[in-house]
Structure 1
Amino acid sequence: MARLQPNILVVEDDRETRTLIAKYLRNNSCNVTIASDGREMFRAMTDHRVDLIILDVMLPGEDGLSLCRTVRAQSHTPIIMLTARGEDVDRILGLEMGADDYLAKPFNPRELLARINAVLRRQAIAGTASANDGATALTFLRWRIDFRLRELRNPEGARVAMTSAEFDLLWTFCERPGRVLSRESLLDLTQGRNAGSFERSIDVLVSRIRRKIEPDQQEPTLIKTVRSGGYMFTPRVDAVGAGN
């Protein structure tokens, strides 16, 4: 079966940049919808299936960071943010709002395409992994994480909202309970060595996951920080069979 072309939504107010991105992606087997602000973005998300959003930070009206937070509260659609500012603090802020990746302008369109493919590939791998190992989900302390559905449910059975990056990192922890995992290895496992990410992003994601699963965020017991080592996921993890 031929690989389906991904549907990419480009939200960028600069016409020249928007046109350049759309043309390059279309020439590389992507379906592209364009928007110049938040209102057009939400209209496009209503009218079209969107597999990934490329979202500029500096937009007229509501800015990209605020739009990212709004989208993330409603959807798991991956988001790659674009900005003219490349400092770590701006990247971290974007990740805090729920972005899956972050690219500073000016950028090479090839790098943007590589990041799009990396994010979509991580989703595809997570979605097919259960067919490879026979498990449809993992459980820990009555929490359940299902990578076929890409969802996390708390002990009461309620669905917990997670970004794609948060899900991938928590799944990686659940696959390796009781092991000390360095930030570098976590980057390799979740995003790939060529993703262009930085180790501080792992700290940001861990902090966000802790807010969702830890009984006490000030004294975390599920994801422990190992001094000069990285992190360790402490609970016992069990696989859930296809019939459960």
Structure 2
Amino acid sequence: MTEENELPAADGATIAIIDDDDELRSTMTALLGENGFATLPLPSADAYRRLAPPPRLDLALIDLNLAGESGLELAMEIRARLGIPIVMLTGWGTETDRIEGLETGADDYLMKPFNPRELLARLRAVLRRSGWKAPATDRSGHQMATFGDMTLDLTRRELIATGGDEIPLTNGEYRLLEYLVRNRDRIIPRVELLQELGSDLSTYVDRTIDVLILRLRRKIEAVPSKPVYLQTRRGQGYIFVTTSRSEP
């Protein structure tokens, strides 16, 4: 079974499986892994909250009736923080539970026991509705993200300009750009970016992000003072704006 703090490499979406039933969690982890998904299996809400920084996720599969906890509260927390789709599971839910779950923000709801094929179909449908796309790859199998006349090679961790020349990036610049690209078209708060970089949230929060954003704009924007891609949303954070939904 996958360790709780590790995410295996996969071409599919990354799905958190938060369920206190060890056997079921292990079964779902194996099922999703065999069908091209990366998984993050966790036994409780506390196990998720202890992860630092929070991992990149594309969907969360959450048991409504976690032992001693509320799966709905965790779902609302994850939705508010990451903006990802949520699928709820329950072993004894009533129609009222289902309605409450959907009104709370869940994108779908499955009763246990469920058919494995139905689970896979539901997850793929939710991901498709959310706009998620599998990373594009070139002939060598490298994951690529293209914006404007530049390409970010997510396998080699390189930014390539038109003509094939590499645009040098520091480790911090690359990590920030990759996170922004993978979370394109979503406003990301400064605190989330700092956590992704593993920085001390109590020291130089604004300066750390501002310096990296300024450096990236100088490298990817035609006019850094009028950014097309890496835009600021005053009082909210930053957003990487794209016109294509085919990037990772």
The normalised TM-score by structure 1 is 0.49
The TM-score normalised by the length of structure 2 is: 0.48
- Normalized per residue, the structure richer in helix is 1
